[in-house]
Amino acid sequence: MVIVVGNPANTNCLTASKSAPSIPKENFSCLTRLDHNRAKAQIALKLGVTANDVKNVIIWGNHSSTQYPDVNHAKVKLQGKEVGVYEALKDDNWLKGEFVTTVQQRGAAVIKARKLSSAMSAAKAICDHVRDIWFGTPEGEFVSMGVISDGNSYGVPDDLLYSFPVVIKNKTWKFVEGLPINDFSREKMDLTAKELTEEKETAFEFLSSA
């Protein structure tokens, strides 16, 4: 397994995969778990629970400010019961506005405040990412991971390294299939795919001229 963390992580990961064609494309992934963990933390803070009580948030797309943190399919444990995050929060404006931008801009905000990157949070996210590859995802849970987009059912172009919801078993990841995508999500998912397509073209132009 090859895991890429350094930015631009998705496009770096795709470039690494293209440069090592003997390694299966599925063995390359990039880290969007930090964004995933941040999204869980924002929801938990808002509801006064722990991040462990929140599951199945999704980071779609690029590890950049166009990423789309999606909680349409997320669940939270409240008073021992699992409920949908939208139902629990009853605050569409926050979920479609401030929540999205906070997760998108979190890395920049941390650097601005600390004058340093969020090294410990990133290290924790890498551990989470590797642990799930090694031991699999818990039953009924999925995680976000930047993986090759080939064969996805969400209308994301093939041959991009894009963050999807995945489940992992026997050290093999699979797309979570069949999640309904509303118009708001569609627009955000397409926007981050467009950025990744442009990044890819720029990177490959550079490589072919090098």
Task: Give the architecture-level CATH label for domain 1-202.
Answer: Alpha-Beta Complex (3.90)
- All residue ranges of the chain with pLDDT < 70 are 106-119, 210
63 is catalytic: yes
pLDDT at 2: 96
pLDDT value at position 209? 76
Q: What are the tens digits of pLDDT across the range 63-101?
A: 999 999 999 999 999 999 999 999 999 999 999 999 999
13: three-class secondary structure by DSSP: helix
Residue tagged 């999640």 (tokens): 179
The whole-angstrom separation of Cα 100 and Cα 189 is 13
Distance in angstroms (rounded) separating the CA atoms of residues 43 and 180: 21
pLDDT at residue number 110 = 61
Catalytically annotated residue among 36, 63, 73, 129 = 63
Predicted confidence (pLDDT) per residue in 138-147, tens digit? 999 999 999 9
CB-count burial class (<10 Å; 0-12, 13-18, 19+) for 26: middle
DSSP 58-103: EEEB-SSTT-EEE-TT-EEEETTEEEEHHHHH--HHHHHTHHHHHH
Residue with tokens 């990157």: 117
Give the pLDDT confidence score for residue 72 in this predicted structure: 97
Structural domain boundaries in the chain: 1-202
| pLDDT at residue 115, rounded to an integer | 63
DSSP-derived letter for residue 169 is E
What pLDDT shows up at residue 206? 85
